[in-house]
Amino acid sequence: MVLRHASGDEKHPTVLRRITGSFKSTPEPPDVVETKTRKLENTPNGFPRLAAFQSSEANFSLYRSFNYLHSRILLDLQDEITALEKELDDIDWDDFDEDPDRLRSREIDVAKAASEGDARNRRVILEEIRTKLLQYDEVLIKARTLESFQKPSDRNYRSVRRYHHNTKPLMDAEMDSIRSKEDIVSLRNGREWASFDGGVETMIGQLDHFLQKLFGCREPPLQKYFRTPELRAKTTNAYISLYSSSRIDKLINIMITLVIFVLLVIPVITMYLLTSESISQPSDGNAALNGTVSAHSNGVNSRTTFNAVGVLIVFTLLFSAAMSLVTKAARHELFAASAAYCAILVVFIGNLVVPA
């Protein structure tokens, strides 16, 4: 269901307005398109402004994982559970020798444990083991989840460090967390963020500032294409450029599509030009020269086939390098993609190279 906005007095539509009216959308009223954005400069300097900065962009959401402390807690719980396990084994063997019925019936064991008062029996130890295991499993699962978080790229980490250096939101003693680079994880999740992506964003920023100086613009001219109004409203700091990740992704997808297109078309055209000379060979009506022409044709065909294979090897290596550069494909994915690309070129060579 689509809700339409009530409007005031409307003029009687002309024929042209009736035809073009179906292609026009009614402008949204201001109270629908109005948005509220937290601005860095309107936030008190300190932890509030730092929180506003790190939440303004997913790449800046860098926090400590405290791997060392997780390991300490896990080791401590592990040792406690191990000691309880040994104590439980000792009680089991004692009851096996003195009262084996307690090991064969839970009801008997519970009844006798109740009559023992505050004595440390099997029921007490099992309850302690249950509590410790729940704590241990919770910390272990959380630690495993934290290990799956991505490490920030050097570019994003330096950006956050530059913000700390330029604005001094915290005292020096409070900055030990951001200095622990090996313990920092990123909350960014979604599109694979290879170094190529960061390079493209850096190139856009540099080009934007160059065009601003070149044409004397008040604002960088590429802002409206790569920065949403909400991102532009977050800060007026000239040293902070927040670009829309979705728009950067679209540009990168277009660039990757062009790279794949080039890597498919150029080798095909090159191999076609190399093998075209072996398709039509000069013929001579003199039968005495048939042997010479046949030998020449075989030599040309072998040479062009060898050249085509060389082109295949070169462009397969270029394709693998491009995959490694612009994506974060796993090793088996990279191998499968390269094998498929090579198979396409091999099929093309087989269709073009004609036996003499």
pLDDT digits (tens, 9 = 90+) for 192-246: 555 777 788 888 888 888 888 888 888 888 888 888 888 888 988 878 888 888 8
Residue 172 in 3-state DSSP?
helix
Please check whether residue 100 lies inside any domain of the structure: yes
The answer to whether 193 and 238 have CB atoms below 8 angstroms apart is: no
Residue 83 sits at φ, ψ, to 5 deg, of -65, -40
- Helices 290-326 and 331-352 pack at an angle, to 10 degrees, of 160
Q: Which two tokens stand for residue 94?
A: 């004692």
Instruction: Kindly state whether residues 210 and 233 are assigned to the same domain.
Output: yes
Distance separating alpha carbons of residues 345 and 213, to the nearest angstrom: 47
Please check whether residue 239 lies inside any domain of the structure: yes
- Domain-terminating residue out of 90, 114, 147: 147
Place of tokens 């400590």: 64
- Domain-terminating residue out of 82, 113, 147: 147
The answer to whether 113 and 122 have CB atoms below 8 angstroms apart is: yes
Judging by DSSP bridges, how do beta strands 184-186 and 62-64 pair with one another? antiparallel
Q: Which of 45, 10, 5, 48 is nearest to 25 (CA)?
A: 5
Please check whether residue 188 lies inside any domain of the structure: no
Confidence (pLDDT) at 48: 94
Q: Provide mean pLDDT across the span 96-118.
A: 90
pTM: 0.70
Instruction: Kindly state whether residues 266 and 342 are assigned to the same domain.
Output: yes
Instruction: Kindly state whether residues 132 and 201 are assigned to the same domain.
Output: no
Confidence (pLDDT) at 8: 47
Please check whether residue 286 lies inside any domain of the structure: no
Instruction: Kindly state whether residues 214 and 271 are assigned to the same domain.
Output: no
Nearest 5 degrees, angle CA 215-CA 218-CA 222? Answer: 70
Residue 279 in 3-state DSSP?
helix
Distance separating alpha carbons of residues 137 and 120, to the nearest angstrom: 25
Confidence (pLDDT) at 324: 83
Please check whether residue 293 lies inside any domain of the structure: no
At 103, which amino acid appears? L
Instruction: Kindly state whether residues 94 and 142 are assigned to the same domain.
Output: yes
Residue 6 in 3-state DSSP?
coil
Q: Provide mean pLDDT across the span 138-156.
A: 92
Instruction: Kindly state whether residues 241 and 265 are assigned to the same domain.
Output: no
- Looking at residue 29, the DSSP 8-state letter turns out to be P
Confidence (pLDDT) at 212: 85
- Domain-terminating residue out of 131, 147, 163: 147
Place of tokens 């622990």: 180
Residue 282 pLDDT more than 90? no
The domain tally of the chain equals: 3
The answer to whether 337 and 322 have CB atoms below 8 angstroms apart is: no
What 261-269 contacts at long range (C-beta under 8 Å, 24+ apart), as own/partner pairs, is 263/315, 263/318, 263/319, 263/322, 263/341, 264/344, 266/315, 267/311, 267/312, 267/315, 267/345, 268/345, 268/348
Residue 95 pLDDT more than 70? yes
Greatest Cα pair distance, the chain, in angstroms, is 119
The answer to whether 279 and 308 have CB atoms below 8 angstroms apart is: no
Contacts of 271 (CB under 8 A, 6+ apart): 308, 311, 312, 345, 348, 349, 352
Given its phi and psi angles, is residue 276 left (phi above 0), alpha (psi -120 to 50 degrees) or beta?
alpha
Q: Which two tokens stand for residue 324?
A: 């490694």
Domain with 119, as residue range(s), is 67-147
Instruction: Kindly state whether residues 270 and 342 are assigned to the same domain.
Output: yes
Q: Which two tokens stand for residue 353?
A: 């190279």
The answer to whether 129 and 83 have CB atoms below 8 angstroms apart is: no
Q: Which two tokens stand for residue 118?
A: 């505050």
Please check whether residue 37 lies inside any domain of the structure: no
Report residue 1's pLDDT band, with 50, 70 and 90 as the boundaries. very low
Rounded to the nearest 10°, the torsion over CA 281, 282, 287, 290 is: -40
Please check whether residue 202 lies inside any domain of the structure: yes
Residue 3 pLDDT more than 70? no
Please check whether residue 208 lies inside any domain of the structure: yes
